[in-house]
Amino acid sequence: MHASQRILRAPPASQKKNVPSAPVLDTSMLLERLLHDFGKTGDPVEVDFRALVNWLRMGDQQTHHMHPYPGKLLPHIAHFFCGARTLGGGVATVLDPFCGSGTVALEGSLAGWRPLVADANPLALLITKVKTKAFRVSALRTAMRDLMARARRYRTGPVVSIVNEVLWYDPRIKRDLERLLRAVDEVANDDARDFFKVCFSVTARKLSFADPTVAVPVRLKAKPRLRPEARAQIESQLQRLSAANVFDEFERICEANVARVEEANCTNPTRSMAVPVGTDARQLREPGRVGSRPMSEGSVPLIISSPPYGSAQKYVRATSLSLNWLGLAGPGDLRALEGASIGREHLRLSEGVDSADGLPQAYLDLVTEIGEINSDRARITMTYLVEMRQALTEMARVIAEKGKIVLVVGNNQVCGLPLRNDNFFTQILEGLGMRLELSLVDHIKSRGLMVKRNKTASVISRESVLMFGKR
pTM, entire model: 0.90
Residues 98, 307: contact at Cβ < 8 Å?
A: yes
Helix, coil or strand: residue 424: helix
- Please list the residue range(s) of the chain that carry CATH number 3.40.50.150: 57-121+272-315+332-435+447-470
Q: Are 81 and 304 in contact (CB under 8 A)?
A: yes
The predicted structure's pLDDT at residue 352: 65
- Sign of CA pseudo-dihedral 245, 214, 162, 258: positive
Q: How far apart are CA 325 and CA 346, in angstroms?
A: 24
The answer to whether residues 210 and 281 touch, using CB atoms and an 8 Å cutoff, is: no
Identify the three-state secondary structure at position 174: helix
CATH entry, 57-121+272-315+332-435+447-470, from 3.40.50.150, 3.80.30.20, 3.40.50.10860, 2.70.50.30: 3.40.50.150
Q: What is the pLDDT of residue 209?
A: 94
| Helix extents (H) in 8-121 | 28-41, 49-52, 75-82, 103-110
Residue in 458, 469, 381 with CA at minimum distance from that of residue 424: 381
Give me the pLDDT at residue 23, please. 45
**How crowded is residue 263: how many other Cβ atoms within 10 Å of its Cβ?**
13
Helix (H) or strand (E) holding 114: strand 114-117
Q: Which residues of the chain have pLDDT under 70?
A: 1-24, 58-60, 89-90, 289-291, 311-313, 349-354, 444-461
Query: Which pLDDT belongs to residue 47?
Result: 95
Long-range contacts of 48-51 (CB under 8 A, 24+ apart): 48/7, 48/9, 48/442, 48/443, 49/74, 49/76, 49/77, 49/80, 49/442, 50/74, 50/76, 50/445, 51/7, 51/9, 51/10
